[in-house]
Chains A and B, each alone.
Chain A
Amino acid sequence: MATELRLPLLGDIMTEGTLRRWLQADGARVEAGQPLYELETDKVSFTVEAPAAGVLRRLVTEGEVVQVGGLVGRLEEAAEAGPAPSPEPVSLPEPPVPPGPASVEEPVGPAPPVGPARLRATPAARRLARELGIDLAALGSERRLREADVRAWQAASERAAPEATAYAGRRRAIGERMVRSLQTSAQVTLNSEVRVDAVLDMIEGLNREWRERGVVLTLTRAVVKAVAVALGDHRHLNVRLEGERIVPREGVHVGVAMDQEAGLIVPVLHEVDRMSLEEVARELRELTRRAEAGRLTQADLEGATFTVSSLESTVVDAFTPIVDPPQAAVLGLGRVREVAAFEGSGVVRRRVATLSLTFDHRVTDGAPAARFLGRLADLLERPYLLLEGRR
């Protein structure tokens, strides 16, 4: 009796996945729990383990995209894995045959792990690649990679003209979701320029206080906290549109968009409403580290009603973010700018940033959304309000 291997569902919005790499040879005998293959979705990489013991029969090749529930292989019992041995003793004086079903080409039993040949790189090259976040495998070389190779690759990739690449994998997944979002929802974007002098001063002060604790606060992290506070007051945006129902969400769960080599990824900071500002800063840092290390779990990617997308560290002043259904809204944060402003009859220097709130008009209307945005602006202009509240 064979065990069928079907592509597992890893998240609520997953529809397909790429079988990136088989970890066992075709025909290999595997035990339950042994790693079988690497599955890559638009958000995560995941190692699928053998659900039972058996001899592996692969049915798809590495790199193939498979629908959720699609058959990728089978785990067969030993007897059905090959031609059955002859039931009768052979009487002719033939050369002895090895007993059992073993075939010459495909050894039965634990096979050595398959995969690319071990990458050769000097320790210094590995260290630099680690520091720059470069996957050495991308450099691929016959000889041992050196530090200079990594530097050259980095320099080249920074100035390289874009090459045509396949519209596939995470890139395609992101693209198709964005298209689907725009085609199936009614998105409206509201912009508001808010003063950030006070919040930036507070951030600077807190960072001095918190240095010993290893906590770093940024404007983006403060905005996430402000969003959580504001969502508590504006429940109409703390919802998910699931099919025919608008479902309110317990607690506040905020997605935070992060830019990665392979494309956008949006891990979720859960239960932000229960966190102090310091905890938000700390937890976001940890989430960022996990994302960089490729160690996000499926739970890290699910359950948000709202996303913060920050271009704070870029030259962008304002932009139109796209809602990621079934979420209700997304907030864009532009860079901090200095502007001249009237204060009484005088002109003063002021630091401002533009908040861009895109919401799905199917779940709420313009006026409440504007009030939500106004509350956000208020929280950032009187940032001590971020220090109170629930723990």
Chain B
Amino acid sequence: MARELLFSRAENEALRQEMERDPTVILMGEDVAGGAGRADQGFIDAWGGPMGATKGLIQRFGPERVIDTPICEMGFIGAAVGAAVTGLRPVAELMFVNFVGVCLDPIMNEGAFLRYMLGGQVSVPLVIKTAIGATGRAPERGGGSAAQHSGSMYSIFAHVPGLKCVAPSDPYTAKGLLIAAIRDDDPVVYCSHRQLAGTKGEVPEAPYTVPIGKARTLRPGRDVTLVGIARMTGVCLEAADRLAGKGVEAEVVDLLSLSPLDEETLVESVRRTGHLVVVDEDTPRCSVARDVAAVIADRAVDHLDGPVKTVTAPHAPVPYSGVLEAAYVPTPEAVVAAALATLRD
């Protein structure tokens, strides 16, 4: 029987099952448990991470494997790299992806490049688990979390050789990709959209992996390919429903893996549909969306029957005001308009 689980609980289950399976898996980050050091006062596991995804793990695995850190991203993520090359499989939580500004060095210059620089002597089996995305709060009620806590920015990781980067779109892919990331011998940045944390979906109880480097086709269609990333996959599905009402059969491809990129699935789909719309909440310059567009321009150009469209955030930081935030994030309406533009322009 299918079992429904919250996205954040699916992540929790992935972490728990992997930590049970493999004693070298550890979790570290700011407030991954919370209230650290106060077990004697009856306080344990106050937070379980900002989305509650790591709640309960410290009771099961203890403070040696569920480690609250001071606020020092450069230090503890650097330490996670060091632990990874010496026999552990750390999952380091970067609370919001914007904080990569504090710790890009250990992620890129050490975590991603080390294996190559050392001529393959070491592997870096590290997971950086981070939250992405705008808040989606009601436009008329003030605002969201603004520029430093709402970015997507995964294109930074996709750009770095040696790093892998995945972005689940529902509870099923959350659990499967997180387990795959933990079992992977390379550093993987796992991007969890904050608005997906509270969504529900079917999740098998037994451990399983969703392969890194593979996109999945969620809905077949022959007229236009809609490619979604993380929460934008749901936006694509909604757009596909609306397009169906206009007689347009949209195919929805859930990218899941931003690096490596599943070029075959993308090329194969566009060869059939002849039209591509890539939907990405990240900003457009040097983005994953434009990268997908470039792959298609390179490998499927003879099958393109209209311009390639990308629907992305504007080239601007995320605004606070709810009105502006709502205008910032791609909507199903914008995706429908882009699909019709490539079909009819």
A residues near B (Cβ < 8 Å) are 122-127, 143-144, 146-148
Q: How far, in angstroms, from A343 to B39 measured CA to CA in the complex?
A: 107
Q: Point out the residue from A126, A143, A144, A147 that lies within 8 Å of B274, measured CB to CB.
A: A147
Q: Measured between C-beta atoms, what is the minimum distance from A179 to chain B in Å?
A: 45
* Contact indicator A146/B302 (Cβ below 8 Å): no
> Cβ of A143: which chain B residues have Cβ within 8 Å of it?
345
* Contact indicator A123/B345 (Cβ below 8 Å): no
Q: What are 18 A-B pairs with beta-carbon distances under 8 A? A: A122-B274, A123-B302, A123-B303, A123-B304, A123-B305, A124-B274, A124-B304, A124-B305, A125-B305, A126-B302, A127-B302, A127-B303, A144-B345, A146-B305, A146-B306, A147-B274, A147-B305, A148-B305
Q: How far, in angstroms, from A147 to B305 measured CA to CA in the complex?
A: 6
> Cβ of B302: which chain A residues have Cβ within 8 Å of it?
123-124, 126-127
Residue of B nearest to A126 (CB): B302
* B302, B304, B305, B345 interface centre (most CB from chain A within 10 Å): B305
> Cβ of A125: which chain B residues have Cβ within 8 Å of it?
305
| B79 located at the interface, meaning its Cβ lies under 8 Å from any Cβ of chain A in the complex | no
| B301 located at the interface, meaning its Cβ lies under 8 Å from any Cβ of chain A in the complex | yes
Q: How far, in angstroms, from A93 to B274 measured CA to CA in the complex?
A: 66
B residues near A (Cβ < 8 Å) are 274, 301-306, 345
Residue of B nearest to A125 (CB): B305
- 13 extra interchain contacts, Cβ-Cβ under 8 A, other than A123-B304, A124-B304? A122-B304, A123-B301, A123-B302, A123-B303, A123-B305, A124-B274, A124-B302, A124-B305, A125-B305, A127-B302, A143-B345, A146-B305, A148-B305
Q: Measured between C-beta atoms, what is the minimum distance from B82 to chain A in Å?
A: 50
> Cβ of B306: which chain A residues have Cβ within 8 Å of it?
122, 144, 146
Residue of B nearest to A145 (CB): B305
Q: Nearest 9 CB-CB pairs, A to B?
A: A124-B305, A127-B302, A147-B305, A122-B305, A123-B304, A123-B301, A124-B274, A123-B302, A146-B305
> Cβ of B345: which chain A residues have Cβ within 8 Å of it?
143-144
Q: How far, in angstroms, from A146 to B274 measured CA to CA in the complex?
A: 10
Q: How far, in angstroms, from A143 to B305 measured CA to CA in the complex?
A: 13
Q: How far, in angstroms, from A126 to B302 measured CA to CA in the complex?
A: 8
Q: How far, in angstroms, from A146 to B224 measured CA to CA in the complex?
A: 14
Q: Measured between C-beta atoms, what is the minimum distance from B222 to chain A in Å?
A: 12
Residue of B nearest to A121 (CB): B305
> Cβ of B305: which chain A residues have Cβ within 8 Å of it?
122-125, 146-148
Q: Measured between C-beta atoms, what is the minimum distance from A249 to chain B in Å?
A: 46
Residue of A nearest to B300 (CB): A123
Residue of A nearest to B343 (CB): A146
Q: Measured between C-beta atoms, what is the minimum distance from A143 to chain B in Å?
A: 7
Q: Measured between C-beta atoms, what is the minimum distance from A346 to chain B in Å?
A: 55
Residue of B nearest to A148 (CB): B305
Q: Measured between C-beta atoms, what is the minimum distance from A20 to chain B in Å?
A: 29
Q: Point out the residue from A124, A144, A148 that lies within 8 Å of B303, measured CB to CB.
A: A124
> Cβ of B303: which chain A residues have Cβ within 8 Å of it?
123-124, 127
> Cβ of A147: which chain B residues have Cβ within 8 Å of it?
274, 305
Q: How far, in angstroms, from A380 to B36 measured CA to CA in the complex?
A: 97
Q: How far, in angstroms, from A148 to B303 measured CA to CA in the complex?
A: 12
Residue of A nearest to B297 (CB): A123
Q: How far, in angstroms, from A328 to B303 measured CA to CA in the complex?
A: 49
Q: How far, in angstroms, from A148 to B274 measured CA to CA in the complex?
A: 11
Q: How far, in angstroms, from A122 to B305 measured CA to CA in the complex?
A: 5
Q: Measured between C-beta atoms, what is the minimum distance from A202 to chain B in Å?
A: 39
Q: How far, in angstroms, from A143 to B306 measured CA to CA in the complex?
A: 11
Residue of B nearest to A127 (CB): B302
> Cβ of A144: which chain B residues have Cβ within 8 Å of it?
306, 345
Q: Measured between C-beta atoms, what is the minimum distance from B297 to chain A in Å?
A: 9
Q: Measured between C-beta atoms, what is the minimum distance from A130 to chain B in Å?
A: 9
Residue of A nearest to B304 (CB): A123
Q: How far, in angstroms, from A6 to B80 measured CA to CA in the complex?
A: 83
Q: How far, in angstroms, from A148 to B305 measured CA to CA in the complex?
A: 9
Q: Measured between C-beta atoms, what is the minimum distance from B117 to chain A in Å?
A: 41
Q: How far, in angstroms, from A379 to B115 measured CA to CA in the complex?
A: 73
> Cβ of B304: which chain A residues have Cβ within 8 Å of it?
122-124
> Cβ of A122: which chain B residues have Cβ within 8 Å of it?
274, 304-306
Q: Measured between C-beta atoms, what is the minimum distance from A116 to chain B in Å?
A: 21
Q: Measured between C-beta atoms, what is the minimum distance from A176 to chain B in Å?
A: 41
> Cβ of B274: which chain A residues have Cβ within 8 Å of it?
122, 124, 147
Q: Measured between C-beta atoms, what is the minimum distance from A324 to chain B in Å?
A: 40
Q: How far, in angstroms, from A122 to B302 measured CA to CA in the complex?
A: 8
Q: How far, in angstroms, from A123 to B305 measured CA to CA in the complex?
A: 6
Q: How far, in angstroms, from A124 to B306 measured CA to CA in the complex?
A: 8
> Cβ of B301: which chain A residues have Cβ within 8 Å of it?
123
Residue of A nearest to B345 (CB): A144
Q: How far, in angstroms, from A122 to B345 measured CA to CA in the complex?
A: 11
Q: How far, in angstroms, from A122 to B274 measured CA to CA in the complex?
A: 10
Q: How far, in angstroms, from A122 to B301 measured CA to CA in the complex?
A: 9
> Cβ of A124: which chain B residues have Cβ within 8 Å of it?
274, 302-305
Q: How far, in angstroms, from A288 to B95 measured CA to CA in the complex?
A: 67
> Cβ of A123: which chain B residues have Cβ within 8 Å of it?
301-305
Q: How far, in angstroms, from A122 to B273 measured CA to CA in the complex?
A: 13
Q: How far, in angstroms, from A6 to B303 measured CA to CA in the complex?
A: 45
Q: Measured between C-beta atoms, what is the minimum distance from A139 to chain B in Å?
A: 14
Q: Measured between C-beta atoms, what is the minimum distance from A174 to chain B in Å?
A: 35
Q: How far, in angstroms, from A125 to B306 measured CA to CA in the complex?
A: 9
Q: How far, in angstroms, from A127 to B274 measured CA to CA in the complex?
A: 12
Q: How far, in angstroms, from A174 to B301 measured CA to CA in the complex?
A: 40
Residue of B nearest to A122 (CB): B305
Residue of A nearest to B306 (CB): A122
* A123, A126, A127, A147 interface centre (most CB from chain B within 10 Å): A123
Q: How far, in angstroms, from A359 to B179 measured CA to CA in the complex?
A: 83
Q: Measured between C-beta atoms, what is the minimum distance from B343 to chain A in Å?
A: 9
Q: Measured between C-beta atoms, what is the minimum distance from A120 to chain B in Å?
A: 10
Q: How far, in angstroms, from A204 to B301 measured CA to CA in the complex?
A: 38
Q: Measured between C-beta atoms, what is the minimum distance from A114 to chain B in Å?
A: 28
Residue of B nearest to A147 (CB): B305
